[in-house]
Each structure stands twice: as structure tokens, then as C-alpha cells.
């Protein structure tokens, strides 16, 4: 490496530009990673759709999660169809190498009060696992397709 190349490489390393989550340039690294007080809930949430298949049953699932975490923390959503008592409100969970969704029935019916879905990631993008009612997680097998 020539002396000129070393000087240019050294200058490139020394010149840092920092941006905050809104894309504005800031002076320091600390400002770039500082918690922003004006960030809304929408800024830390995104949506995805999942379809759970279990034999003859198919659940339509809409999940809200925080894309700035990994595994992605589930912040809400709804199971909109395919299960007795739909809709079900998703109350928590995570999506990553594994998935866990916890839901509470908000619709009418005499079905269970809670549902838990668990699974492991596989390719093409899907989760294979089990789900169960009222605290159980292994009552029924499923494959849940990721449709984001």
C-alpha cells in the first residue's frame, strides 16, 4: 500500500457522519443513539400477516411487532378468522428463529379463553410447531406461513 493510499484510508476512517432515527444528521454518536421523545408508537411498530395451517383449519393472523428488536417483540394484533370465537386479540409474544404468540378470545363463543402458538423457523419462510388452549402449547400441530 502506498503512502498516498494510507493517507486516504486514514481520512476515510476519521470522517464519521451520524444520523438519528428520523434521518437528520447529528454531531455525535450519542445524539444518534439517544432516545427520541417525539417518536410515536407507529415508529416502533410494523405489521405482518401470518396464516396458520393445521389440517383442515386455517387461521388468518395479523401481527404488530417492533422491528427494532430481535427476536421481534410482538406488540399486538389479531387472529381474525379460522378459529372459534374469532377475533382473538394477540396480547404478546415474539417472532425470530422461533415464534410465540399469546392471544385472548375477544369474540363470542364457548371456546377456550386463551391460545398459545409456538414454532421454529423453516424455509421457505414459515414456522412449524404446535398450539394449544388455556395454557397448553402442544395440543395441535401447525405450519404457519409468513406473508409479509
Res 87: pLDDT: 93
3 state DSSP class of 77: strand
Phi/psi-derived region of residue 113, left when phi > 0, alpha when psi is between -120 and 50, beta in every other case: alpha
Rounded CA separation 89/70 (Å): 22
Residue 128 has φ and ψ, to the nearest 5°, of -110, 130
Q: What's the pLDDT band for 20 if we cut at 50, 70, 90?
A: confident
Question: Is residue 103 within 8 Å of 79, Cβ to Cβ?
Answer: yes
- Is the model more confident about 71 or about 36? 71
Q: What's the pLDDT band for 43 if we cut at 50, 70, 90?
A: low
- Please check the confidence at residue 9 and state whether its pLDDT lies above 80: no
Q: What's the pLDDT band for 3 if we cut at 50, 70, 90?
A: low
- List CB contacts of 98: < 8 A, sequence separation 6 or more: 71, 118, 119, 120, 121, 127, 129
pTM: predicted TM-score of the whole model, two decimal places: 0.70
Distance of CA 55 to the CA centre of its chain: 25
Amino acid at each position: 500500500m502506498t503512502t498516498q493510499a494510507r493517507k486516504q484510508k486514514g481520512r476515510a476512517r476519521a470522517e464519521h457522519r451520524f444520523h438519528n432515527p428520523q434521518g437528520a444528521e447529528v454531531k455525535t454518536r450519542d445524539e444518534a443513539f439517544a432516545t427520541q421523545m417525539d417518536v410515536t408508537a407507529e415508529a416502533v411498530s410494523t405489521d405482518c400477516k401470518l396464516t396458520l395451517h393445521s389440517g383442515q383449519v386455517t387461521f388468518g393472523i395479523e401481527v404488530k411487532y417492533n422491528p427494532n428488536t430481535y427476536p421481534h417483540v410482538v406488540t399486538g394484533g389479531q387472529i381474525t378468522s379460522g378459529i372459534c370465537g374469532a377475533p382473538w386479540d394477540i396480547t404478546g409474544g415474539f417472532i425470530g428463529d422461533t415464534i410465540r404468540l399469546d392471544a385472548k378470545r375477544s369474540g363470542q363463543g364457548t371456546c377456550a379463553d386463551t391460545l398459545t402458538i409456538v414454532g421454529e423457523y423453516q424455509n421457505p419462510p414459515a414456522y412449524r410447531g404446535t398450539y394449544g388452549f388455556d395454557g397448553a402449547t402442544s395440543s395441535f400441530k401447525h405450519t404457519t406461513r409468513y406473508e409479509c
